[in-house]
């Protein structure tokens, strides 16, 4: 990108709504910034917990042995799920979208090289209701069979 300074933005996903977080991350990446998202397992999905888990289980279900669902891949790990959600908000058919997707990194927890960096505060993406109304990506992953650590 000519004339633009590439910055590195760190976003802490703890307590942020997944869709809002993903739209901000996609926008920042399209502007030419490198985006690193930490604590992906603490990002929240709004809605009825049982309904969300059942929808994801249906995506993972193999309908038959003759015609199993091989693609697209449906991830269970929270960092992969979040990155896939961000990918859906980018124009990946265009070179600009593919390049911006390469600038996004999503981590479980906080890596050692990012510990000292102060994360960006996204006030508009924060959950407004108590945590009981949301399902975290970590909880979703555990219900789908993902084991952390």
H or E segment and range at residue 8:
strand 8-12
93 touches 23 (CB < 8 A): no
Query: pTM for this one?
Result: 0.87
140 touches 55 (CB < 8 A): no
DSSP state of 135: E
Would you say residue 46 lies in a domain? yes
Would you say residue 149 lies in a domain? no
CA 91 to chain centre: 16
Residue 120 has pLDDT above 80, yes or no: yes
Structural domain including 71 reads: 8-144
Mean per-residue pLDDT for 18-41?
96
> pLDDT above 90 covers what percent of the chain?
71
Would you say residue 120 lies in a domain? yes
DSSP state of 36: E
- How many domains is the chain partitioned into structurally? 1
- The string over 99-128, giving b where at least 16 C-beta atoms fall within 10 Å of a residue's C-beta and e elsewhere, is ebbebbbbbbeeeeebeeeebeebeebeee
Would you say residue 68 lies in a domain? yes
């Amino acid at each position: 990108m000519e004339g633009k300074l590439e910055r590195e933005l760190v976003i802490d996903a703890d307590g942020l709504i997944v869709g809002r977080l993903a739209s901000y991350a996609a926008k920042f990446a399209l502007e030419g910034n490198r985006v690193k998202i930490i604590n992906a397992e603490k990002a929240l999905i709004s809605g009825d917990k049982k309904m969300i888990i059942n929808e994801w289980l249906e995506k993972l279900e193999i309908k038959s042995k003759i015609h199993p669902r091989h693609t697209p891949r449906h991830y269970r790990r929270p960092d992969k799920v979040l990155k896939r959600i961000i990918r859906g908000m980018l124009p990946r058919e265009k070179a600009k979208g593919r390049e911006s997707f390469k600038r996004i990194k999503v981590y479980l927890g906080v890596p050692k090289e990012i510990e000292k960096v102060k994360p960006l505060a996204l006030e508009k993406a924060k959950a407004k209701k108590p945590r009981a109304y949301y399902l975290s990506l970590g909880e979703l992953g555990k219900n789908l069979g993902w084991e952390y650590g």
